[in-house]
Amino acid sequence: MSNSSVPDTVWKRPPAFITNPTVRMGAWVLLAAYLVWSVGSLDMDWERVARGLPRAGDMLARMFPPDFSRQSLLIRGVIESVQMAFAASFIGMILAIPLGLAAASNLAPRSVYLAARSLIVLSRTFHEILIAIFFVKIFGFGPLAGLLTLSVASVSFISKMIAEDIENMNMGQIEAIRATGASFSKLLIYAVQPQVLPRYLGVCIYRLDANIRHSTVVGIVGAGGIGATLSASFKRYDYDFSLAILLTIIALVFIGEIFSTWIRSRLR
Amino acid sequence: MLEIKNLNKVYPGSLQALKGIDLSVTEPQVVAIIGSSGAGKSTLIRCINRLVEPTSGSVKLGGEEITTLNRRELRKARTRMGMIFQEYNLVERLTVMENVLSGRLGYVSFWAAFRRNYPPEDVRAAYELLDRVGLTGRHNDRADALSGGQRQRVGIARALMQKPDLLLVDEPTASLDPKTSRQIMRLIVELAHERGTPALVNIHDVVLAQASADRVIALRDGETVFDGKPDDLTPDVLTDIYGEEDWSATIRRDGDEVDAGADDGADEDKTGKRNNIDEKAIAG
């Protein structure tokens, strides 16, 4: 090819995944066939869609104007949600530190690491709603179940993030502090903490923001907060009140988002 | 002061990094350790304070056997060995002063360290060292705001804060420009002599090693192949250490005395092994 003195002028990037051209074309054909089949087998009932549309219009009509008259109910729900979110974030922040350290392969012994990772994976397997249903069954309706749900989710999320950040640390700084004869606890405060603190705080604030969003949902399965109020209003066809709650949730999440973005931009 | 006997290190699933190293430093001198990448220089330095665990052999510092210490005793022993690194390894988000004071971590309690509440004599020593390395007034700057040369000065101050009996210096100038390299090397040598502290200095720059060290040791394939005065480094010796190359321009002073016969002089390599481990750089 290029062993002649004249350099080649043709170059094509070699295929990244499937080198055999026949197999590659075959894969494309199979993918197209699957798409056609899956859309065909969904059994879309256009008539049901058509009948649903006026109902949606009717519902929208009954939503307007939003009814903010039951303010005490609304405010109580919001406060409960926000309290749940803050408390759960705080619990998550604290408990995630030991769990995150245990789940970092470059600091923890192998057995501790595996145990901590399994715990994190296990608690991340189930969606918040499933965990919420579980806690409502155990502890009954109300914000306690919601608080526990969000705490579990926060601990596993924050500790996973911390563990990954610790694993990405600059090990030279660790080595240098270790070489001074510092103990493990001093190593944590002089070499680990300075490297991971900004990201840790960022993750916590992000989690607070996420918890505010999630706290509005877990109520639907009975775990307290504004979600419970929303669920009740839908059941009673109080659509104007539902809209008021939805608008409140939008405002709440929006404020949470602004707050979290602002804090995180200041942490760099 | 430092007595190393038959020190071996085998990395799991890898070649033997150190093969029966014997080394004794009996006076406060600056010992340059030269050799190709992967020759075992970093491993040797790190086996002394056991950042890398030696496989077998003996390391004695001031008569104390280091290799058999338990974790608590090892931490205590490490406070007597100051270490300086190629990449400076400062804790970047901490201030210069915190980095310097971290040299005292082996001596203060956890709470004192946590609250940055160091004894007055430590703080005074830190200020004095910052003056000495030329960083007066920079104590509250964050370490990542400094230039490479300045960072290494902080690294030197941190190591000396330990009031060490031995300095372990790993490629202190490899990340610096030639001028800064010379300044930093001069500073290390001056401080080691001032304080009567022996120093082991890994260094790639043969000219700089010759110019600054009291004694030069060369490693090849994990073995000591040269141990002597800087001026005894002839082209033949360098060929033995690194492999064939025209060394005439590299040698300090004696350059005109030796003919450029490095090419045939290479046959004196006793083991018959050429410099074939250049790229087998050893991690750690």
| pLDDT tens, residue by residue, A49-100 | 888 888 888 888 888 888 887 888 888 888 888 899 999 999 999 999 999 9
Confidence band for B253, pLDDT divided at 50, 70 and 90: low
Task: Indicate the residue type of B159.
Answer: A
Task: Indicate the residue type of A120.
Answer: I
pLDDT at B197 over 70: yes
Contact present, B242 and B222 (Cβ < 8 Å): no
pLDDT at B268 over 70: no
Mean of pLDDT values over A172-179: 94
- A250, with CB counted inside 10 A (0-12, 13-18, 19+), is exposed
Tell me the three state secondary structure of residue A104.
coil
Confidence band for A268, pLDDT divided at 50, 70 and 90: low
- B122, with CB counted inside 10 A (0-12, 13-18, 19+), is middle
Q: Is A185 on the interface with B (CB under 8 A)?
A: yes
Give the Cα separation of A179 and B164 in Å (integer). Answer: 11
Q: Is B113 on the interface with A (CB under 8 A)?
A: yes
Residue A18's pLDDT is 79
Confidence band for B110, pLDDT divided at 50, 70 and 90: very high
Residue with tokens 């290029």, as numbered in its chain = A2
Q: Quickly list DSSP for A197-220.
A: HHHHHHHHHHHHHHHHHHHHHHGG
The predicted-structure confidence for A206-225, as pLDDT tens digits, reads as follows 898 889 888 888 888 877 78
**Which residue does chain A place closest to B74, by CA atoms?**
A181
**Gyration radius from chain B CA atoms:** 19
pLDDT at B45 over 50: yes
B91 vs A contacts (CB less than 8 Å): 173, 176-177, 190-191, 194-195
pLDDT at B284 over 70: no
List Cα–Cα distances, A198 to A155, A192, A207, A268, in angstroms. 18, 11, 14, 7
**Which residue does chain A place closest to B77, by CA atoms?**
A181
Q: In B74-99, which positions are buried (b, 16+ CB within 10 angstroms) versus exposed (e)?
A: ebebbbbbbbbbbbbbbbbbbbbbbb
Set out the domains of chain B in order of their start, with CATH numbers. 28-54+62-268 (3.40.50.300)
Give the Cα separation of A103 and A113 in Å (integer). Answer: 5
Reported as type and span, the H/E element at residue A33 is: helix A21-41
User: Which residues are bridge partners to B226 per DSSP?
Assistant: B218
Highest mean pLDDT among A11-15, A221-225, B65-69: B65-69
- A38, with CB counted inside 10 A (0-12, 13-18, 19+), is exposed
Strands B2-10 and B16-25, bridge-based pairing: antiparallel
Residue B275's pLDDT is 38
Confidence band for A229, pLDDT divided at 50, 70 and 90: confident
Q: Could you tell me the two tokens for A187?
A: 């190593």
The predicted-structure confidence for B239-250, as pLDDT tens digits, reads as follows 888 887 777 777
The predicted-structure confidence for B199-231, as pLDDT tens digits, reads as follows 999 998 888 999 999 999 999 999 999 999 998
pLDDT at B277 over 60: no
Farthest-apart Cα atoms in chain B, separation: 64
Residue whose C-alpha is closest to residue B176's, from B195, B158, B211, B152: B152
Give the Cα separation of A151 and A211 in Å (integer). Answer: 9
Mean of pLDDT values over A18-37: 90
Confidence band for B269, pLDDT divided at 50, 70 and 90: very low
The predicted-structure confidence for B18-36, as pLDDT tens digits, reads as follows 999 999 999 999 999 999 8
User: Which residues are bridge partners to B2 per DSSP?
Assistant: B25, B61
Set out the domains of chain A in order of their start, with CATH numbers. 71-266 (1.10.3720.10)
Residue B252's pLDDT is 64
Mean of pLDDT values over B36-58: 92
* Test mutation, A173, A193, A197, A199, chain B, max B CBs within 10 A: A173
Taking a contact as any Cβ pair under 8 Å apart, which residues of chain B between 149 and 188 contact chain A?
155, 158, 162, 168
Average pLDDT over all residues of chain B: 86
Contact present, B9 and B16 (Cβ < 8 Å): yes
Residue A4's pLDDT is 58
Angle, helices A128-139/A143-167, rounded to nearest 10 degrees: 140
**Which residue does chain A place closest to B47, by CA atoms?**
A179
Are B102 and A189 in contact (CB < 8 Å)?
no
pLDDT at A47 over 60: yes
The pTM for the full model equals 0.78
Q: What is the ipTM of this complex?
A: 0.83
Give the Cα separation of B149 and B151 in Å (integer). Answer: 5
- A115, with CB counted inside 10 A (0-12, 13-18, 19+), is middle
Residue A215's pLDDT is 86
Give the Cα separation of A134 and A122 in Å (integer). Answer: 15
Contact present, B12 and B48 (Cβ < 8 Å): no
Are B105 and A194 in contact (CB < 8 Å)?
no
Q: Could you tell me the two tokens for B60?
A: 């004695």
- B250, with CB counted inside 10 A (0-12, 13-18, 19+), is middle
Distance from CA of A197 to the nearest CA of B (A): 10
pLDDT at B90 over 70: yes
Confidence band for B75, pLDDT divided at 50, 70 and 90: very high
